[in-house]
A and B are shown apart, each in its own frame.
Chain A
Amino acid sequence: KAGVTQTPRYLIKTRGQQVTLSCSPISGHRSVSWYQQTPGQGLQFLFEYFSETQRNKGNFPGRFSGRQFSNSRSEMNVSTLELGDSALYLCASRQASSTDTQYFGPGTRLTVL
C-alpha cells in the first residue's frame, strides 16, 4: 500500500502571499490531520478532517484553513503568509476512528521570505 503523499515537498513564498498544500492519504483512510513543526514550538496540531468535515481544530489563527474532498484527499491553505509560518507541514492519515494510529507523510517544507 502506498503511504501518505504530500505535494509539493518544498515551497518558497513571500510575506503576504497565500499557499495551498496537498495531501493524499493512505488508500482506505478517511481521516486526514495536519501538523505544523517548527524549531521553537515543535509539533503542533492544526486540524483534522473526516468525511469532508472538520472534526477538530488546534489553536491557530483563521489564516490557516483546510478542506477535504470526497476521495479523502485534503488541502491546507494559509493566507497572508507571515515569516513565522515557515515550517515543516506534516499530513497524517488514519482509517476512521479517532483512536486509530496516525501515519505521516514526508511533509512540505514552507519557507516564507
Chain B
Amino acid sequence: AQKVTQAQTEISVVEKEDVTLDCVYETRDTTYYLFWYKQPPSGELVFLIRRNSFDEQNEISGRYSWNFQKSTSSFNFTITASQVVDSAVYFCALSGGGADGLTFGKGTHLIIQP
C-alpha cells in the first residue's frame, strides 16, 4: 500500500521568511509519480509540480523549489521569501501510475503573517 506523510500540520512564518514543507512517501512501485498541490480557502486544488521517480533532478521555479531524494523517500517543497498570498494548505500526493487515484498526505496548513 502507498502512504504519504506530511508531519507538519501547521506552519506559521512571517512574510519574507523561507519555509520548507516536508513530504515522506512509501511505495513498493518501482515507477511512481509525486505531486504537490495547493488548496487556498476557495477549496480548489491547484497543481504545482510533478516529479517522476526516474527523474531526480531538482527544480526551481521562481520562489518555489523542490528537493526530491529517492534515497530518503522525500519530496520537500521550499518557498523562498514567502508572501501572504502563499497562505494555503499544501498537499503532497503519490501515484503509482495505475488507475488507483492519488494518495494524498494530510496536508500542511501554511500561514504567512504580514
Residues of A participating in the B interface, judged by any CB pair closer than 8 Å: 33, 35, 42-46, 48, 50, 55-56, 58, 88, 90, 92, 98-99, 101-107, 109
Q: How large is the interface on B (under 10, 10 to 19, 20 to 34, 35 or more residues)?
A: 20 to 34
**Do A55 and B99 touch across chains, with their CB atoms under 8 A apart?**
yes
Contact partners of A48 in chain B: CB under 8 A: 99, 101
Tell me the B82-114 residues at the A interface (CB within 8 Å). 91, 93, 95, 97-107
Alpha-carbon gap, A46 to B101, bound state (A): 8
Residues of B participating in the A interface, judged by any CB pair closer than 8 Å: 33, 35, 37, 42-47, 50, 91, 93, 95, 97-107
Minimum CB distance partner of A31 in chain B:
B99
Interface of A is mostly: strand
**Do B43 and A109 touch across chains, with their CB atoms under 8 A apart?**
yes
**Do B43 and A43 touch across chains, with their CB atoms under 8 A apart?**
no
Q: Given A42-B106, A101-B35, do A58 and B43 touch, yes or no (CB 8 Å)?
A: no
Closest-CB distance, B41 to chain A (whole angstroms) = 12
Contact of A103 among B47, B101, B104, B107 (CB under 8 A): B47
Contact partners of A42 in chain B: CB under 8 A: 104-107
**Do A45 and B50 touch across chains, with their CB atoms under 8 A apart?**
no
Minimum CB distance partner of B52 in chain A:
A99
**Do B44 and A105 touch across chains, with their CB atoms under 8 A apart?**
yes
**Do B101 and A104 touch across chains, with their CB atoms under 8 A apart?**
no
**Do B47 and A98 touch across chains, with their CB atoms under 8 A apart?**
no
**Do A107 and B101 touch across chains, with their CB atoms under 8 A apart?**
no
Minimum CB distance partner of B42 in chain A:
A106
**Do A56 and B50 touch across chains, with their CB atoms under 8 A apart?**
no
Minimum CB distance partner of A101 in chain B:
B50
